[in-house]
Amino acid sequence: MRFRAALATLVLVATVVLPAAPAHADRIRNDQWHLRYLKVAEAHRITKGEGIVVSVPDTGVDPHPDLRKNLLAGTDIVNGGSGDGRQDRSSHGTGMAGLIAAHGSGENRGALGIAPQARILPILGRIENEHGDSDSLAAALEYSTSNSADVIAIPSTAGSSARLQDAIDAALKADIVVVAAAGNQPEDFVVGYPARHPGVIAVGGVDRKGNHAAVSVVGREIDVVAPATDIYSTSIDGKYRKGTGTSDATAIVAGAVALIRARYPDLSVAEVTHRLTATAVDKGAPGRDDEYGYGVIDLVAALTADVPPLAAESPSASAPVDVAPTTAVAGPETGGGGGAGRWLLATAGLAALGGGAAWLLAARKRRRAGPASPSTDG
């Protein structure tokens, strides 16, 4: 089956490519409004993702000056390729990598990633004006697993082939957190694959005001959301780009996961996901909903909150119960779906814990105050 990029920058709106450094490098940081919205500076006082490897199976990654120090060789899996993932004809993979781990080019100059000390494992699986297929994405995940990735960021949707399912399961079993884009409207109508695969963190998007981004698909599989509109990052030939889509949000969440893994290196995949969802800021209807999932990611809370451990882990649970100090209680969803099923799996495990179950259920609270909106927009 063929898979298509889940990104508005290539499907819904033309990608805006900005001038090369240093012409735009002086103001790109201010243009990255999501950094202020997510309080990235505060998170970086705790960790910058050192020691974490994030795999990016996409169009490859160009060695942009703001990114090259964190760029591994990777690989390519296209016919006639050179065996090196440090190449990109379309700019999309370079943009995703920059959102995750760009280190900038000086004090407040150049693009900055969510985890600027993490390393990028670039995988070129498709080139400009061509789609890859499920086997290509599966090969990319297999390579990521065998090359010690800690996180895999999948900014695309794909057909659900048996090989791809096995590759995702193998990555999760190898303790790799897999993050994937939910998909973009109007091309996508439902949450795509592999975002809907059990154990994968499915990412939707919000706009500058923290509201549901029109481009983002909705569905019961959504786990968390992150900024997805007018997102500035690195591009090819030393330039910069502005994109809109759930792939941008996915790269941001992958950076957040890198920070969590650096801060809490002993947490399992399920516990990392649990910490991310438990500290997310509730939006929309109270509790998990189809637009926002468990809420907007909160980097600082994810790195500092006292989050009770999971009562019982299940390899099929892609998002655990939400536990965070707040005022509004979130109960299970009605009508089934990812959030409800995961809640039921977790609460079933509580039955064996006696008094501890009551304690953990009492802690199922949600925070209703969102991350501070940026004081200025770039």
Residues labelled catalytic: 58, 92, 247
Q: What HEC string does 311-362 produce?
A: CCCCCCCCCCCCCCCCCEECCCCCCCCHHHHHHHHHHHHHHHHCHHHHHHHH
The one-letter code for the residue type at 45 is: R
Judge whether 99 and 233 are in contact, CB under 8 Å: yes
From 357, 369, 12, select the one nearest 186 (Cα to Cα).
12
Give dist(CA 289, CA 366) in Å, integer. 13
- For residues 165, 166, 168, 171, the Cα torsion angle rounded to the nearest 10 degrees is 180
Give dist(CA 247, CA 240) in Å, integer. 16
> Would you put residue 148 in left (φ > 0), alpha (ψ -120 to 50) or beta?
left
Residue with the two structure tokens 């949000």:
249
In degrees and rounded to multiples of 5, residue 177 shows phi and psi of: -80, 125
Judge whether 227 and 34 are in contact, CB under 8 Å: yes
Residue with the two structure tokens 């792939």:
247
- Residue 326 neighbours by CB under 8 Å, 6+ apart: 282, 365, 366, 367, 368
